[in-house]
Structure 1
Amino acid sequence: MIKGFKEFILRGNVIDLAVAVVIGAAFTAIVNALVEGFINPLIGVLFQVGDLSSWVWEVPTLSGGTSTFAIGIIIGAIINFLAVALIVYFVFVMPMNHWKDRQAAKAGAGQADAEPLPTEQELLAQIRDLLQSQGPTQRR
């Protein structure tokens, strides 16, 4: 049981996943700070609400009160998600895809020069033709 757990933990993809989660969490904190400190106030200035998190929509209720919808928080969460996705794509995914394409092109270029190996049937046919071209053999 311990041996199986050890094999599971030492697998490359588990360690890669753990590193990705840690880097993703740290990177998300950076993006959140950027969105909260720069993008939200910028959008707040454009929509004249001061700060995006204070942007609310008040709707009158049937009982005479009001119900408040926090539109700014929702838009802020959407902007956070899109910013993280955009940055992860351009910083991690796109360069990795480019690198994989280059590696595949290098591997393909080396294989394109080599002729494909003949099949077993083609080899047997060549042997037969060589034996026939040598002429009749003496049998004892």
Structure 2
Amino acid sequence: MIKGFKEFILRGNVIDLAVAVVIGAAFTAVVNAIVSSIINPIIALVWKPDENGTIGITVNGLWGPVTFPINELINAIIAFLAVAIVVYFVFVHPMNVLKERAAAKAGITPADQEPKLPTEQELLVQIRDLLEKTPGR
């Protein structure tokens, strides 16, 4: 039972997903705070915020000015990239290195891990054999 649990936990997808969810949730608050306290003021140096404090491009519409909130888009992009970079370099990359070392220690090469696909000629032979077996031919 413990061996099965160990295999389940060491399966790459499970660990990658769990790490991404936990670290992403925890790190998002930090990134959002950094973006709103550092990046937004830098953007405000270039664009003047409207009366609501929204930074973006203002266009005069039928019922008055409308501001497209570019600061929210920039916040989301920076937050996503920061979380993705941290999760990759702190967790995913080291886990991949550990997997490669374990495979090398076990004597498994990357070519051994990939399934061998049939060649084009083998596929054509299989198709020919299936067509010969088809009734009514």
TM-score (norm 1): 0.53
In 2 relative to 1, CA 107–19 (structure 1 residues): closer, same or farther, beyond 3 Å?
closer
Q: Where does structure 1 lack aligned partners over 5 or more consecutive residues?
A: 1-10, 110-140
Deviation at 1:67, TM superposition (A): 1.9
Q: More deviation in 41-50 or 98-107?
A: 41-50
Note the aligned Cα RMSD (angstroms): 3.4
Q: How far off is 1:21 after superposition?
A: 5.6
Establish whether residue 95 from structure 1 lines up as the match of residue 94 from structure 2: yes
Q: 1:19 to 1:100 in 2, by over 3 A?
A: closer
After the TM superposition, which residues 8-87 of structure 1 pair with which residues of structure 2 at under 5 Å, given as runs? 12=8, 23-48=19-44, 54-61=54-61, 63=62, 65-87=64-86
Q: Which amino acid aligns with 2:94?
A: P
Give percent identity, aligned residues only.
36
Q: 1:105 to 1:21 in 2, by over 3 A?
A: closer
Inter-partner Cα distance in structure 2 for 1:57 and 1:35:
24
TM-score (norm 2): 0.53
The structure showing larger relative contact order (alpha-carbon pairs under 8 Å, at least 6 residues apart) is: 2
Alpha-carbon distance change, 94 to 38 in structure 1, aligned in 2, over 3 angstroms? same
CA deviation string 1:68-101 (max 9, x = no partner): 2111111111112111211111122100111111
Deviation at 1:17, TM superposition (A): 6.9
Output the CA distance in 1 between the equivalents of 2:99 and 2:18: 24
> Aligned equivalents of 2:19 and 2:43: distance in 1?
34
